[in-house]
């Protein structure tokens, strides 16, 4: 059988190619998985944009000059040379945009396994962990698409909220009139963060977005206020505030650092505005600081223990899913794309970033949905 790989040029992300390669026989301990479906959001485009700087190209090697973007999704074991993993088992995890992949499971447990291939040994453990769907408390068959689309993003959202609250909003909430400003407020990671922040008292949650996405952000009801990028002057310049940056837009960041003299903290999370990214040197106010989710996980694991942290995350996730999937007013409408041409078109749309923010794209290189 042939494996199909969706490749993108590392230096020109709009250039793509579908390449077929012959299946390689498994070596001892390996498993072959069919990649059933995966989510594609701006987060995956950020993996590609920072592929060299942050090693995202290293997970699934590709021919010189090309990259295979990692995605979150579900895969089924087609062939197993690994005792303890059966053909037909399904796993949630970090896969390539391919029809199949080969993994080398190690540290098996009832919950899942870790990928043990040598080229991934130095990469962060969170990306090397695969969960058995049958044993995963985050998993339900009915919410599988939502899980692929939102789970990895929401965990970051939850940790950002927890980190800011843990730091007393760096003093921005002290008088009850401070604000958290979130750029790319229409993004899934930003609205997950706003969903959590809105449950706290004494801090205004302000969404910043493009004019076209303002209505969408307002409809979510998790932002106390939504402003278009050219409406920063609607917020008093002396507002005590924290900036959580999902857009990575260099000129917006400079504008915020310049306007808000009482900016207490500047937290860099993402880079959705791929065409406007830029350095953060010589900015007025606090240094723009990269959010490092594993550091907050480590801190809470030490303080609460892994079980308690997991339980809190699970509880928050379940509440979030109920809200996001409310049939009367869903935050997310899933769109399925089957086959190489549809995958290519969906990739171009997500890369362009001008689609409906309510859409969540689920992709599969298989030509159609399983019967």
Ligand X SMILES: NC(=O)c1ccc[n+]([C@@H]2O[C@H](COP(=O)([O-])OP(=O)(O)OC[C@H]3O[C@@H](n4cnc5c(N)ncnc54)[C@H](OP(=O)(O)O)[C@@H]3O)[C@@H](O)[C@H]2O)c1
**Identity of the residue, 71 or 293, whose beta carbon is nearer to ligand X in the bound complex:** 293
Q: Are strands 333-338 and 288-290 parallel, antiparallel or unpaired?
A: unpaired
Among 16, 186, 239, 266, interactor with ligand X by CB under 6 A: 186
Among 70, 93, 173, 270, interactor with ligand X by CB under 6 A: 270
Of 10, 31, 7, residue with least CA distance to 20: 7
Among 38, 57, 246, 347, interactor with ligand X by CB under 6 A: 246
Count, residues near ligand X per rule CB under 6 A? 29
**Identity of the residue, 51 or 96, whose beta carbon is nearer to ligand X in the bound complex:** 51
| Shortest separation between residue 182's beta carbon and ligand X, angstroms | 9
- Binding to ligand X (CB under 6 A) within 72-111 occurs at none
Neighbours of 36 (CB within 10 A): 20
| Shortest separation between residue 183's beta carbon and ligand X, angstroms | 6
CA pair distance 51, 30, nearest whole angstrom: 26
Q: What mask, x for binding ligand X by CB under 6 A, covers residues 340 to 359?
A: ------------xx---x--
**Identity of the residue, 196 or 209, whose beta carbon is nearer to ligand X in the bound complex:** 209
| Shortest separation between residue 208's beta carbon and ligand X, angstroms | 7
Does position 296 bind ligand X by CB under 6 A? no
**Identity of the residue, 77 or 194, whose beta carbon is nearer to ligand X in the bound complex:** 194
Q: Which stretch binds ligand X (CB under 6 A): 25-33, 38-46, 110-118, 169-177?
A: 38-46
User: Contact 181/241 with Cβ under 8 angstroms?
Assistant: yes
| 141 CB burial (10 A radius; 0-12, 13-18, 19+) | exposed
**Residue 172 is encoded by which pair of tokens?**
């921005």
Q: Which stretch binds ligand X (CB under 6 A): 21-29, 76-84, 99-107, 270-278?
A: 270-278
Which H/E stretch holds residue 166? helix 144-166
3-state SS, residue 185: coil
| Shortest separation between residue 176's beta carbon and ligand X, angstroms | 27
Among 30, 99, 143, 210, interactor with ligand X by CB under 6 A: 210
Among 101, 143, 193, 213, interactor with ligand X by CB under 6 A: 213
Does position 196 bind ligand X by CB under 6 A? no
Residues 6+ positions from 261 with CB-CB distance below 8 Å: 237, 238, 285
Q: Which stretch binds ligand X (CB under 6 A): 7-15, 40-48, 162-170, 323-331?
A: 40-48
Residue nearest to ligand X (CB): 353
CA distances from 222 to 155, 177, 242, 328, 370 (A): 17, 17, 17, 16, 36
3-state SS, residue 119: helix
User: Contact 102/24 with Cβ under 8 angstroms?
Assistant: yes
Which H/E stretch holds residue 39? strand 31-40
3-state SS, residue 274: helix
Among 32, 68, 139, 273, interactor with ligand X by CB under 6 A: 273
Q: Where are the beta strands (DSSP E) in 261-321?
A: 263-268, 288-290
Does position 274 bind ligand X by CB under 6 A? yes
**Identity of the residue, 206 or 247, whose beta carbon is nearer to ligand X in the bound complex:** 247
3-state SS, residue 325: coil
Q: Which stretch binds ligand X (CB under 6 A): 105-113, 117-125, 207-215, 278-286?
A: 207-215
| Shortest separation between residue 355's beta carbon and ligand X, angstroms | 7
Cα 278 to the chain's mean position, in Å?
A: 21
- Binding to ligand X (CB under 6 A) within 145-184 occurs at 153, 156, 184
Beta bridge partners of 179: 204, 241
| Shortest separation between residue 83's beta carbon and ligand X, angstroms | 34
User: Contact 190/205 with Cβ under 8 angstroms?
Assistant: no
Q: Where on the chain is the footprint of ligand X (CB under 6 A)?
A: 41-43, 46, 153, 156, 184-189, 209-210, 213, 246-247, 269-275, 291, 293, 352-353, 357
């Amino acid at each position: 059988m042939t494996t199909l790989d969706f490749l993108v040029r590392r230096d020109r992300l709009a250039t793509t190619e579908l390449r077929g390669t012959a299946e390689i026989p498994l070596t001892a301990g390996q498993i072959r998985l069919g990649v059933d479906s995966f989510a594609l959001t701006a987060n995956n485009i950020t993996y590609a944009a920072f592929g060299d700087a942050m090693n995202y190209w290293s997970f699934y090697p590709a021919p010189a000059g090309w990259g295979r973007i990692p995605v979150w999704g579900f895969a089924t074991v087609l062939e197993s040379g690994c005792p303890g993993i059966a053909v037909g088992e399904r796993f949630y995890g970090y896969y390539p945009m391919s029809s199949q992949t080969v993994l080398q499971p190690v540290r098996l447990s009832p919950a899942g396994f870790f990928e043990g291939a040598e080229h991934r040994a130095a990469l962060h453990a969170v990306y090397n962990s695969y969960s058995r769907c049958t044993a995963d408390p985050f998993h339900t068959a009915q919410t599988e698409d939502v899980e692929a689309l939102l789970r990895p993003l929401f965990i970051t959202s939850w940790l950002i909220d927890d980190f800011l609250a843990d730091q007393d909003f760096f003093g921005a909430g002290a008088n009850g009139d401070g604000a958290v400003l979130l750029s790319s407020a229409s993004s899934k990671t930003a609205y997950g963060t706003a969903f959590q922040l809105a449950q706290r008292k004494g801090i205004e949650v302000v969404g910043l977005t493009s004019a076209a996405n303002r209505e969408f952000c307002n409809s979510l009801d998790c932002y106390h206020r939504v402003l278009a990028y050219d409406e920063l002057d609607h917020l008093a310049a002396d507002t005590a505030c924290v900036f959580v940056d999902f857009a990575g837009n260099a000129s917006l960041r400079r504008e915020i650092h310049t306007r808000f003299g009482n900016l207490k903290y500047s937290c860099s999370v993402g880079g959705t505005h791929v065409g406007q990214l830029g350095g953060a040197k010589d900015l007025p106010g606090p240094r723009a600081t990269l959010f490092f989710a594993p550091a907050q996980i480590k801190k809470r694991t030490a303080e609460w223990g892994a079980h308690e942290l997991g339980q809190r995350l699970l509880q928050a996730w379940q509440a979030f899913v109920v809200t996001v999937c409310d049939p009367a007013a869903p935050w997310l409408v899933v769109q399925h794309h089957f086959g190489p041409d549809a995958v290519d078109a969906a990739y171009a749309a997500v890369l362009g970033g001008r689609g409906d923010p309510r859409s969540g794209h689920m992709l599969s290189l298989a030509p159609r949905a399983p019967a």
